[in-house]
Amino acid sequence: MKASWRLELLEAQLELARQATRSVVLVVTGHAAAGKAALINELNHRLENRLTEVHALVPSSEDRERPYWWRYWRRLPARGRLGVFVHGWYGDALFARADQRLGPGGFADRLAEIGAFEAELAAEGVTIIKVWMDIEPETQGEHIKNLWQDPEQAWQVKDHDWQRHLQHALIEQLGSEMRAATDATHAPWYRLSGGPGTQPFKQLARHLVAAITAPLGEPPAEPPEATQHDVPSLKHLAAEHRGALDKSDYRQRLAEAQARLARNARELQQRRIPMVLVFEGQDAAGKGGSIHRLTSALDARQYRVHQIGPPSDEELAHPWAWRFWRRLPLDGRIAIFDRSWYGRVLVERVEGLVPPDAWQRAYVEICRFERQLLAHGAVLGKLFLAIDKDEQKQRFEARAATPHKRHKLTEEDWRNRERWADYCQAIDDVFLHTHQHGAAWALIDANDKRRARIDVLEDVNCLMEKRLLEPR
């Protein structure tokens, strides 16, 4: 009988790897001395451990210099694999609340974040299983004491184990609140009895097999979030095009803006403030030229430009936002995205590369992602460079006639012009649903390249200076 269910678990894992249509995340948390380590060790022993990743995180300096959720996004397993998190995001919230590093409101907010995080993963094909390990307080105290008195096992007892024993009633209460707030069809909780004499592995194995072999589900789609007033619009911009900027005036203003940018960037670096800049725009709108004028004023060691194209095989094996989370900058550094996560609600929407429920859900996911950047203290700039259809045609023809620019023009660029109205509608929907406080869009009139480059530099400088004026 034992061999049967162990074989069933292994076969389920191998089928998971063969199909590679989903990944599995297992979170194991609960009371101290309840046998979490022993349970995970047995799981790792019974499974094909080349397909299993175990994470018991103590945040590194690299983790602390990025938004909180970065440490978990970057460690998510690829499709076909199982990722095990010891305590994970639940331990962070639970013990911070128990030690009064989080107040009641902060605890509730963190649980809401967890619910949103898990819903996003589930919608992207991640199966989530959460285990709470129970142990009675008397059994816990006796077990810790016995381990501590055994010279060969005393190493297993840490100071915090005694502290958690004294907090047993509090942790039981907080754990109950936490499970009630985060239990969901797509991310259920299971309670297992732990401690000496218990055998929770068989129960865990059965839960895992059931979860791995169940049909993939999807949480309900969330409606797009409300935004603040004064939302940009391409329709309004079309009536406001300005004239060309004189070349000599452009050169003077460019030098002044770049000098100002260099000073601001050094100050950001000294104060360990990260910055994320997003460049979107129509084909041939001048994103590359604007980014070049921006980076010309920066220390190459401080910034990195990420040119976002179609996802790689590795990126396709993870939730869609994974490839953006992993590119976030350290504190004091600047990440520049030449196209970005907005591709999901622009090209992927218009070209039908993802189903409607995926891009409609993405508005909420994007807003949440950007709020997490802001909560970490990052400066976030979102710039959309817009040109009209006639100007785009002229630039395409100029590229085709210029040998060193022909590589910038593709058949896809010409094909996209046929969907001009669809793209304009998608762009205005982006502004409507993602123009939010602290993450507002700057709509740049790019019909004149010189004026657009100055506007980009001015906007970035203003974002930096606004942040630098805030109290340290």
Rounded CA gap, 52 and 47, in Å? 8
CB atoms within 10 A of CB 375: 14
CATH number, domain 234-468, options 3.40.30.10, 3.40.1080.20, 3.90.1150.10, 3.40.50.300: 3.40.50.300
CATH fold for the domain made of 2-213: Rossmann fold (3.40.50)
pLDDT block averages, 10 residues each, the chain of length 472: 75 96 97 94 92 94 96 97 97 97 97 97 96 96 90 85 94 98 96 91 94 78 64 75 86 97 98 98 95 97 96 97 98 98 97 95 97 97 96 89 77 83 96 95 96 97 96 78
Q: What is the pLDDT of residue 229?
A: 61
CA dist., res. 446 & res. 464, Å (int): 22
CA distance 413 to 67: 35
Question: pLDDT tens digit string along 267-307?
Answer: 999 999 999 999 999 999 999 999 999 999 999 999 999 99
**Residue 105: HSE in the Cβ half-sphere, 13 Å Cα cutoff:** 0
Per-residue pLDDT tens over the stretch 161-176? 899 999 999 999 999 9
Rounded to an integer, what distance in angstroms lies between the CA atom of residue 27 and that of residue 47?
16
Helix (H, G, I), strand (E, B) or coil at 191: strand
Q: Can 2-213 and 234-468 be said to share one CATH topology?
A: yes
pLDDT score for 66: 97
- 241-248: long-range pairs with CB below 8 Å, 24+: 241/388, 241/445, 241/447, 242/445, 242/448, 242/451, 243/448, 244/448, 244/450, 244/451, 245/448, 245/450, 245/451, 245/454, 247/450
Provide CB contacts within 8 A for 5, sequence distance 6+: 202, 205, 206, 209
Domain residue spans in the chain? 2-213, 234-468
Q: Mind listing the pLDDT tens digit for each residue in 125-148?
A: 999 999 999 999 999 999 999 988
Distance separating alpha carbons of residues 33 and 133, to the nearest angstrom: 9
Q: What does the pLDDT read at residue 472?
A: 75
Query: DSSP of 71-85, one letter per residue?
Result: HHHTTPPPTT-EEEE
* pLDDT at site 1: 38
CA distances from 196 to 40, 147, 367 (A): 15, 11, 46
How high is the pLDDT of residue 220?
Answer: 56
CA dihedral 84, 89, 91, 93 (to 10 degrees): -170
Alpha helix locations (H) across 296-334?
313-316, 322-325
Distance CA 25, CA 2 (A): 24
What angle do the packed helices 201-213 and 2-19 form, to 10 degrees?
30
In angstroms, the CA 75 to CA 71 distance is: 7
Q: Tell me the sheet residues that pair with 193.
A: 134
Give 126's strand partners: 23
DSSP assignment letter at 408: G
